Amino acid sequence: MPCHQTDRTGGKRDSVRILVVDDDAGSRTVLAEVLSRCGYQVQEAPDGFWVSRALQAGAFSFDLVVLDWKMPGLDGLAVLQQLRTFAPETLVILISIAADDQLRLEALSLGAFDVLRKPMNFGALIPLVERALQQMGKW
């Protein structure tokens, strides 16, 4: 697993809170497990409505969100827009099986840190998470 590399965070991974939002329970669980094994505090959410409710209740305290694009009801781009309004300091990595240049441009213009294609390449995800957290000054 990619997180077995030298920890360049100075042991600060355990203070980082990551939310994984995906309507596919299997994908969400695997992704959360990988990030947890890397030392991050991870919580799972089944859909965009969960994020919307947490934001509106003022109960949103995550450093980074790994967010699926295609979800029923409230899709990832709509959630991304809400995050920019209510939690602008939170970084977002959008994931999608249909990640193409158009989606990437749209997501980046809305404030996503980056876009990754499903199925997930964990060898690419972990360094991307670390770069995002370095950019926000988490280590």
Reported pTM: 0.90
**Which residue do the tokens 């919307």 mark?**
52
pLDDT of residue 4: 47
pLDDT of residue 11: 57
Average pLDDT value over all residues in the chain: 89
For the chain, which residues score pLDDT lower than 50?
4-6
Percent of the chain as helix, strand, coil, to the nearest 5: 45, 20, 35
pLDDT of residue 7: 52
Domains of the chain: 13-134 (3.40.50.2300)
Residue percentage of the chain with pLDDT more than 90: 71
